[in-house]
Copies of this chain bind each other. A is one copy, B any other.
Amino acid sequence: MPQFISPLEYSESFAVRTYEIDHCKRATIPALIRLMQEAAMQNVIQLGVSIWDLEAQNISWVLLRKSMQVFRLPGLGERIRVSTCPTGFDRRFTYRDYKIFGADEELLIQSSSAWLLMDTITRRMAPIPGFILDFEAKMPAPEKCLPRPEFRFPKFEQANFTKAFEVNWHDLDFNLHLNNTLYIQWMLEAMPPDMLQEKRVAGMEVLYRAESRWNDVLYTETQMLDEHTYLHRLMKKGEEKELAMALSRWE
């Protein structure tokens, strides 16, 4: 039986769908990130702190960092349980963990993330309001939480692989920003073809730096650090501005 780490935890079961799999009938990384994101959205809707609940106060959640370890990719039709829970605050950020389980509580994926609240008028960081700080008492014990997503990337030095993208209408989320999941999907496109076909992501750290909007022209660049490790960045053309960086490990 699932052990909940906090009364704030949310858990939902999914069966891996045919549009979520690759040519090996395994769920893709973007599909699994979408399910983690979906569980988190349902969790904040349930807790009354979704982006729609916060609209009236002119604040909104912004994803900053995500760290992810992938132990096994579930297959077509496999029943998985996606669990997510807020895991605390510090002065500036709020944190959230995700776990994906297979049958018999086999841990398939774990991920921690950091978020901030943005004032949607000034576009600057907003203080965490009292009704969110009130969740403090119900947060899981620190030893039940994953390590927070603290990481540094090596300097990006050269693009060994690159891909170009335009932000289209159907790439936007309900907030009219480029979907979080597509940041990762597009960074993973600029990879050696045989890695995409024959290997899989074993772990990833992602740093989100700026939002992107309809009709933006973007490109992703990847630097090979070693045979198993790649450094990625998502750039906005013209401004040569970094929208995101990531490091991926493959096996």
Chain B nearest CB from A186 CB (Å) reads: 8
- Chain B contacts for A193, CB-based, 8 A: 169, 214
Q: B23, B168, B172, B173: which contacts A174 (Cβ < 8 A)?
A: B23
A179: interface (CB < 8 Å): yes
Chain B nearest CB from A78 CB (Å) reads: 13
CB-based contact B174/A163 at 8 Å: no
CB-based contact A168/B163 at 8 Å: yes
- Which residues of chain A in 130-176 are interfacial with respect to chain B, using CB atoms and an 8 Å cutoff? 163-164, 166, 168-170, 172-176
CB-based contact B174/A22 at 8 Å: yes
In order of increasing CB-CB distance, the 9 nearest A-B pairs are: A18-B41, A169-B196, A168-B189, A170-B185, A17-B38, A21-B174, A19-B34, A23-B176, A23-B174
How many chain A residues touch B (Cβ–Cβ < 8 Å)?
A: 37
A6: interface (CB < 8 Å): no
CB-based contact B19/A181 at 8 Å: yes
Residue ranges of A at the interface with B (Cβ–Cβ < 8 Å): 17-19, 21-23, 25, 28, 30, 34, 37-38, 41-42, 45, 76-77, 163-164, 166, 168-170, 172-176, 179, 181, 185, 188-189, 191, 193, 196, 214
CB-based contact B19/A173 at 8 Å: yes
Closest residue on chain B to residue A175 by CB atoms = B23
Q: Give Cα A55–Cα B37 distance, bound, in whole angstroms.
A: 35
- Chain B contacts for A76, CB-based, 8 A: 174
- Chain B contacts for A174, CB-based, 8 A: 18, 21-23, 25, 76
CB-based contact B189/A169 at 8 Å: yes
Chain B nearest CB from A190 CB (Å) reads: 10
Q: Give Cα A173–Cα B166 distance, bound, in whole angstroms.
A: 21
Closest residue on chain B to residue A176 by CB atoms = B23
CB-based contact B168/A19 at 8 Å: no
- Chain B contacts for A163, CB-based, 8 A: 166, 168
- Chain B contacts for A188, CB-based, 8 A: 169-170
Q: Give Cα A45–Cα B21 distance, bound, in whole angstroms.
A: 15
Q: Give Cα A28–Cα B188 distance, bound, in whole angstroms.
A: 25
A-B contact pairs, 11 of them (CB 8 A): A18-B38, A18-B41, A18-B42, A21-B174, A23-B172, A23-B175, A45-B77, A168-B189, A169-B193, A169-B196, A170-B188
- Chain B contacts for A45, CB-based, 8 A: 77
